[in-house]
Chain A
């Protein structure tokens, strides 16, 4: 299959012709399957790999999973090749490659990769429950951030300012919690700070019709500069008073928290963690099963139609952007009230942009964004765990992992992502 043909096929896709075969998926699957069999099967370490499911002193102790690295490598590689062949056959007969093939393929790849990489480490023994729980923890701000993006973009406002909302939320949470001595006050202040950033975004992009991407990028710089300046001019002058917030306590739900593996993930969180689960569910239900959600989506897809039917487009957008500020602000409090105690310059470190990636990878859907953010959290946590285990892979490549995964996810699996129709276009009545 030449690249020229692929390009032509895709162009037809873009213009809406339905009967054209897309060879992209079969090609990607075949290449990855061949690489996987070379590395994970032929290059498998000759030892057993242990995945621990619980600690010894947990109330319920599960046996550890012990597998042989070459066996898992070969099984997964052969299965992946079979799937790739299946995808090629489907495409040749003019049918689409089903989604489950991609999903199963991804899971197989993940299992094979984990087995291979842990098996190659100095200590081929990893706590699977810790790996998963850590992933969720790392994903919390990302999930809040991408929910904020979902709220904005679904109503037709591009939100690049997630980074700024998170950072300002983190800053406000630290300062308010330090001054008041209460982490809950900090949480509220974070929400207010997120709304403030949102307010600027809304006023400039809706009232003054400035390009939304530009406002977003500039807001990120503004918040970074503002918090950085206040940090060095005020916070670090008297950090005892301004920058020593109490941490949010971890609330364990009795009994449920003792369930192995999923207990710590679901029932052993801080307020922010529980809020995250609630927010995902609420946004999902509200967006697809409520009058508000229908209006939001209508305003984002076809504002003129919504306007014709009596929806006040710009007020709807304004409200949604402000609401998004609440969500992202609360997410920002994670940095200063949960992760570490205290604000640091630019401490969000680009997480807002990654939330944006998760949002697009999740196809502007709250649930999709949730899992995309989890994938990213997992990749980040995996690279942390692996550098502790001591693998032959250089440290820098491990740290690249989350970003490479995102590139592959966005370029390989998602393909042509379709934003809400009116996202980024200001609406002027008339």
Chain B
């Protein structure tokens, strides 16, 4: 997201005609970007934050606010699409190579190569077909409900991914690399779950309190990291990783105490949450999709507003772009760290609520599954923009929901989903590689350097400014 890339997006407003509102806004945004860049050169002597503000834009492309048409025009959508295709092809190759039938057919490859190729095609395509059928549309369903059931499953799985992904993305924008979504989800779910099964409150109030408790839990857990970073300068990557392990053990401990453990059980599992503490189903009892998804949509809107339209969001982005410049400009950096982590934690806490009072309905130590770690890739794929994270969350939700179905029907391990997901993020992050592989022309010569590599080094920024 270099200034160079932004330029072609808005036609120069010096063309004689008075600039439209859109153009003025774009120009203002460019100024902002340029200021941020210029600020970055100021603090060359200090170590950079773990994730520079460029985490917001892994590759090149117009800002998250740019319209859909503009995105397609600049060819990034094409790169994204090709990245997905390429990753799927590589994943398919992996499935084919390890397939038993393919191995058998390859023993006589030179006499009948078409057998090997046929078996390879069958292995990969049937796995992907099962993946699609398990995540989008079930062709074999006999009723409409059964046909669209996979899609609602995708949205159900996407809900915690979106919430936690938003948390990771928000922290990114403030220059913090939050690997701790896993622990934040767990603690959030613990708080929410405890309110859910210990208190017995009227419908409405109960759920509201559960959601609030989940957010507070996540916020406290993550805010602690922000506090430690702000006060002692400890590295947040280390802190969040350690807090993940501590959270897991803490939840296990809680689940062995009478306050949390299900009466009469020796397993680390809590009682079921009250019905009044659960998210109501969104599309009726036939589907698992619950109102948590609506909360995730609201959270996305909120994060978008926070980052792009509020003073707090501006300050957080300033801290992320360059902490020392922000400090010089009068932003309280310590407060920024704490606040960014606390909000990120609250969002992860929402993911915990979605799990404990939407999908799982009980608290166990495995309630967070691996959503906290997947959330990192979701945020990366979404380029730390709220709506990008939302879309990435749904894509990964589809992979996960479909992966379960695929493993059940074709026996292909769900781990292939991890491979495909990480390949997608890798390829999308390196557009020049994808362009080279597909022999696409490099985008316009207006861009500096090799391809569209993020050129946020002091040297090039100095030249631009």
List residues of A whose CB falls within 8 A of some B CB: 3, 6-7, 10-11, 14, 24, 158, 160, 200, 204, 208-211, 213-215, 217-219, 221-222, 224-226, 228-234, 237, 304, 350, 353-354, 356-357, 360-361, 394, 396-397, 399-400, 403-404, 406-407, 410-412, 414-421, 423-428, 430
Q: A164 — nearest CB in chain B belongs to which residue?
A: B422
Within 8 A of A (CB), among B367-388: 373, 376-377, 380
Chain B contacts with A in 30-53, Cβ cutoff 8 A: 45, 47-48, 50-52
The answer to whether B457 and A426 have CB atoms under 8 Å apart is: yes
Using Cβ atoms and an 8 Å threshold, which residues of chain B touch A221? 373, 377, 418, 421-422
A394-B253, A410-B235 as given contacts; A214 in contact with B429, CB under 8 Å? yes
Contact of A228 among B47, B177, B418 (CB under 8 A): B418
- In the bound complex, residues from chain B placing their C-beta under 8 Å from that of A424 are 48, 50, 52
Q: Are A394 and B256 in contact (CB under 8 A)?
A: yes
> Does B54 sit within 8 A of A, measured CB to CB?
yes
* Beta-carbon contacts under 8 Å, B164-212 to A: 177, 179
Known interface pairs A219-B426, A225-B419; 15 further A-B residue pairs with C-beta atoms within 8 A, sorted by A's residue number = A7-B231, A208-B429, A211-B54, A211-B55, A221-B421, A350-B241, A356-B237, A357-B242, A407-B234, A407-B242, A410-B239, A412-B232, A418-B47, A419-B47, A426-B454
A208 to B376: give the CA distance in the assembly, Å: 21
Enumerate chain A residues within 8 angstroms of B376, measured Cβ to Cβ. 217
Q: How many residues of B contact A (CB 8 A)?
A: 66
Cα distance, A232 to B58, chains bound together (Å): 33
**Docked pose: A225 CA to B95 CA in angstroms:** 12
Residues of A within 8 A of B334 (CB): 7
Residues of B close to A396: CB separation below 8 A: 249-250, 252-253, 256
Chain A residues near B459 (CB, 8 Å)? 304, 428, 430
Q: Does B425 interact with chain A (Cβ within 8 Å)?
A: yes
Contact (Cβ within 8 A) A225 B422:
yes
Residues of chain B with a CB closer than 8 A to A415's CB: 232-234
| 3 nearest CB pairs, A to B | A225-B418, A416-B233, A228-B415
CA distance A69 to B94 in the complex (A): 60
* B72 contacts A by Cβ under 8 Å: no
| Min C-beta distance of B143 to chain A, whole Å | 34
Residues of B within 8 A of A353 (CB): 179, 237-238, 241
Instruction: Specify the main secondary structure of chain B where it touches its partner.
Output: helix
**In the complex, what residues of B have CB within 8 A of residue A224's CB?**
415, 418
User: A10 contacts B418, CB within 8 Å?
Assistant: no
Pairwise interchain contact A228-B413, C-beta atoms closer than 8 A: yes
A231 to B413, CA, bound (A): 9
* Chain B residues close to A by CB (< 8 Å): 45, 47-48, 50-52, 54-55, 58-59, 94-95, 98-100, 177, 179, 228, 230-235, 237-239, 241-243, 245-246, 249-250, 252-253, 256, 327, 334, 373, 376-377, 380, 412-413, 415-419, 421-423, 425-426, 429-430, 432-433, 449, 453-455, 457, 459-460
A414 touches B98 (CB 8 A): no
In the assembled complex, which residues on chain A have CB atoms less than 8 Å from the CB atom of B50?
158, 213, 424
- What are 24 contact pairs spanning A and B, CB under 8 A? A7-B334, A158-B50, A211-B52, A211-B429, A217-B179, A218-B429, A221-B418, A229-B98, A229-B418, A233-B95, A396-B250, A396-B253, A403-B242, A407-B234, A407-B242, A407-B243, A410-B239, A411-B234, A415-B233, A416-B233, A421-B45, A424-B52, A426-B453, A428-B455
A153 → B minimal CB distance (Å): 11
Flag if B239 contacts A411 (CB, 8 Å). yes
When distances are taken between beta carbons in the complex, the residues of chain B under 8 Å from A11 are 327
**In the complex, which residues of chain B have a beta carbon less than 8 angstroms from the beta carbon of A209?**
453-454
- Nearest to A7 among chain B residues (CB) is B334
Given the known interface contacts A6-B231, A208-B433, A217-B380, the answer about A225 and B417 at a Cβ–Cβ threshold of 8 Å is yes
CB distance from B216 to the nearest CB of A (A): 21
State the CA gap A156–B54 with chains docked (Å).
17
Nearest A-chain residue to B449, judged by Cβ: A428
For the complex, give the distance between the alpha carbons of A394 and B246 in Å. 14
CB distance from A332 to the nearest CB of B (A): 18
- Determine the chain A residues whose CB is within 8 A of the CB of B416 once the complex forms: 225, 229
CA distance A213 to B377 in the complex (A): 12
By a CB distance below 8 angstroms, the chain B residues around A394 are 253, 256
Bound state CA distance, A89 and B55, in angstroms? 45
Q: Are A357 and B238 in contact (CB under 8 A)?
A: yes
Residue among B231, B232, B327 having the largest count of chain A Cβ atoms under 10 Å? B232
> A24, A213, A215, A419: which contacts B177 (Cβ < 8 A)?
A213
When distances are taken between beta carbons in the complex, the residues of chain A under 8 Å from B453 are 208-209, 426, 428
Q: Which residues of A contact B98 (CB under 8 A)?
A: 229-230, 233-234
Minimum distance in angstroms from A422 CB to a CB of chain B: 9
In this complex, the member of A209, A418, A430 whose beta carbon has the largest number of chain B beta carbons within 10 angstroms is: A209
From residue A164, how far is it (CB to closest CB) to chain B in Å?
Answer: 10
Known: A214-B429, A407-B243. A417 touches B422 (CB 8 A): no
A160 vs B241: C-alpha distance in the bound complex, in angstroms? 12
By a CB distance below 8 angstroms, the chain B residues around A232 are 413, 415
In the assembled complex, the Cα of A158 lies from the Cα of B47 at a distance in Å of: 12
Determine the residue in chain B with the shortest Cβ distance to A234. B98
A123 to chain B minimum Cβ distance, whole angstroms, is 23
A427 contact set on B, CB distance < 8 A:
457
Nearest-CB residue, chain B, relative to A236: B413
- Chain A's closest residue to B455 (CB) is A428
Q: Are B232 and A24 in contact, CB atoms less than 8 angstroms apart?
A: yes
A419 and B49 CA atoms in complex are apart in Å by 10
Determine how close the nearest CB of chain B comes to the CB of A233; give it in whole angstroms. 4
Task: Tell which of B58, B412, B417 touches A214, judged by Cβ atoms closer than 8 Å.
Answer: B58
Q: How far is the CA of A204 from the CA of B427 in the complex (A)?
A: 9
Beta-carbon contact of A411 and B228 below 8 Å: yes
In Å, the complex CA distance between A114 and B454 comes to 52
Q: Are A10 and B417 in contact (CB-based, < 8 A)?
A: no
Please report the C-alpha to C-alpha distance between residue A231 and residue B426 in the assembled complex, in whole angstroms: 23
Residues of chain A lying within 8 A (CB to CB) of residue B99: 233
Q: What residues on A are CB-neighbors of B423 within 8 Å?
A: 222
Q: Which of B48, B234, B422 contacts A219 (CB 8 A)?
A: B422
What is the CB-to-nearest-CB distance from A348 to chain B, in angstroms, rounded to a whole number? 13
